[in-house]
């Protein structure tokens, strides 16, 4: 009976560890999905106020994603540092755009479009490296 209980504990521990890893990697995927949706919303913002609100939400999710290692990095701490730097680049870009929106300094839709295109470029760059 004791051998059976030890095997059962080992199986449960392994299952729990596997589930935790899957849930952890799904967390990053969920945050990336949310960031992508909010990026699309930033593109469609009609007013500076809309942009500010969406950017605030984006920054919260991006910060959470920055703190979570994607499964694709396989616990490689050096690559994780690069991933975090990439997310920080995106965070910095959104903060700059948000500051402009807060000051109502979007001259026109063209300027807003350029800022969002820069975010898309950063997204492509870092997806190639860390996805």
pLDDT for residue 92: 93
Class of the CATH-defined domain 2-130 = mainly alpha
Please provide the DSSP assignment of the chain as one string.
-HHHHHHHHHHHHHHHHHHHHHHHHHHHHHHHHHHHHHHHHHHH--SHHHHHHHHHHHHHHHHHHHTS--GGGTT-HHHHHHHHHHHHHHHHHHHHHHHHHHTT---SHHHHHHHHHHHHHHHHHHHHHH-
pLDDT at 107: 60
Per-residue pLDDT, 89: 92
Domain range list for the chain:
2-130
pLDDT of residue 25: 47
Q: What is the mean pLDDT of each run of 10 residues along the chain (131 residues)?
A: 48 43 58 84 83 91 90 88 92 89 71 78 81 68
- Going by the annotation, the residues of the binding site are 32, 127
- pLDDT score for 109: 61
- Residue positions forming the annotated binding site for heme b: 32, 127
pTM higher than 0.95: no
What's the pLDDT at 2? 56
pLDDT given at position 3: 60
């Amino acid at each position: 009976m004791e051998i059976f209980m030890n095997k059962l504990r080992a199986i449960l521990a392994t299952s729990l560890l596997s589930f935790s890893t899957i849930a952890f990697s799904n967390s990053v995927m969920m945050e990336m999905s949310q960031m992508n949706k909010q990026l699309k919303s930033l593109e469609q913002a009609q007013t500076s106020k809309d942009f500010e609100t969406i950017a605030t939400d984006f920054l919260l999710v991006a910060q959470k994603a920055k703190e979570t290692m994607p499964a694709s990095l396989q616990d490689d701490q050096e690559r994780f540092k690069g991933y975090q730097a990439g997310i920080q680049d995106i965070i910095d870009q959104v903060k700059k755009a948000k500051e402009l929106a807060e000051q109502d300094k979007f001259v026109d839709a063209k300027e807003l479009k350029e800022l969002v295109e820069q975010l898309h470029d950063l997204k492509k760059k870092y997806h190639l490296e860390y996805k």
